[in-house]
Amino acid sequence: MKVIITEDYEEMSRKAFEIMVETVKNKPDAVLGLATGTTPLGLYGKMTEDFKANGTSYKNIKTVNLDEYIGLDGSDKNSYASFMRENLFNGLDVDLKNTYIENGSAPDAEKECERYNEVLRGLQQDIQLLGLGSNGHIAFNEPFTPFGTEVHVVKLAESTIRDNARLFDNIKDVPVKAYTMGPKNIMRAKKILVLASGANKADAVYGAVKGEITESLPASILQLHPDCILIADKEAAARL
Ligand code: GLP
């Protein structure tokens, strides 16, 4: 794994932007694996600014998102589908028909997992962006998810519900279940770009880079990927 340590969040976002935009320029019909959370917001801001200023086109780009809350329709303001439109897609010329994510209001969860696995089989990510949960989760793969798992339903860890409550009006509104790509879907990406910022990610970063490769820390699987770059600001990299 290649590790880049930056001064701050801004520099982390800029370096991530350079890698992302290079992927898009080299391959205008690339498949981008995208993530939600607050960590990639700086990167997404830079992508939309660059589109406005320089017209880098996403017309033929396809995107696959990692995860979605169960019980929230894609039109719900707290869904990850809305998050992506608001924070990225609406500011680019990407065709929304080419943006894929699990359907949080699908009537049959098992069928929805199968459907999304099928979508992913046809769309290998040229790059997969990842954030880290404070407990070392990637997407919504909580500790002890078997590494061979594909798209599945998860019951969110208490710590994840607490971490994510800040984005909701009330902690009681945070869904308790979600769909997520499994470690296996993530590891299929040609390149993985992990971002981490802030002291609360220091343990997760340590585990991802230097810890034992173990299902108790899902991000540790990334050590097995042949082309993984982790960009962490100095607070998140404090234990390296
Ligand atoms: C959620 C998402 C993850 C994300 C994590 C970290 O749990 N499912 O994909 O990496 O939050 O979020 P943040 O970037 O806000 O710290």
Q: What is the pLDDT of residues 105-125, one digit of tens each?
A: 999 999 999 999 999 999 999
pLDDT of residue 65: 98
Indicate whether 167 pLDDT > 90. no
DSSP run (H or E) holding 63: strand 62-65
Output the CA 36–ligand 1 centroid distance in Å.
Answer: 6
pLDDT of residue 119: 98
pLDDT of residue 163: 87
pLDDT of residue 115: 98
Indicate whether 210 pLDDT > 90. yes
Indicate whether 198 pLDDT > 90. yes
pTM above 0.85, yes or no: yes
Give per-residue pLDDT as tens, 35-62. Answer: 999 999 999 999 999 999 999 999 999 9
207 lines ligand 1 (CB under 6 A): no
- 3-state DSSP assignment of residue 58: coil
Catalytic residue among 103, 135, 164, 185: 135
All residues at 6 or more sequence positions from 152 whose CB lies less than 8 Å from its CB, including other chains: 113, 179, 180, 182
DSSP 216: T
- d(CA 120, CA 10) in angstroms, rounded, equals 31
39 lines ligand 1 (CB under 6 A): yes
User: What is the pLDDT of the chain when averaged over all its residues?
Assistant: 97
Indicate whether 77 pLDDT > 90. yes
DSSP run (H or E) holding 162: helix 158-164
DSSP run (H or E) holding 18: helix 9-26
pLDDT-derived band at 189, boundaries 50, 70, 90: very high
Which of the listed residues 12, 36, 68 should we mutate to test ligand 1's pocket, taking the one with most ligand atoms within 8 A of CB? 36
- d(CA 34, CA 66) in angstroms, rounded, equals 6
Q: Is 135 a catalytic residue?
A: yes
As given in the structure block, the two tokens for residue 6 are 């930056």
Output the CA 67–ligand 1 centroid distance in Å.
Answer: 10
pLDDT of residue 22: 98
pLDDT-derived band at 11, boundaries 50, 70, 90: very high
pLDDT of residue 20: 98
The protein residue with its alpha carbon nearest to ligand 1, atom 11, reads 37
Q: Which of 8-12, 78-82, 167-171 has the lowest mean pLDDT?
A: 167-171
- Going from the C-alpha of 220 to that of each of 24, 83, 87, 151, 212, the distances in angstroms are 27, 27, 28, 19, 7
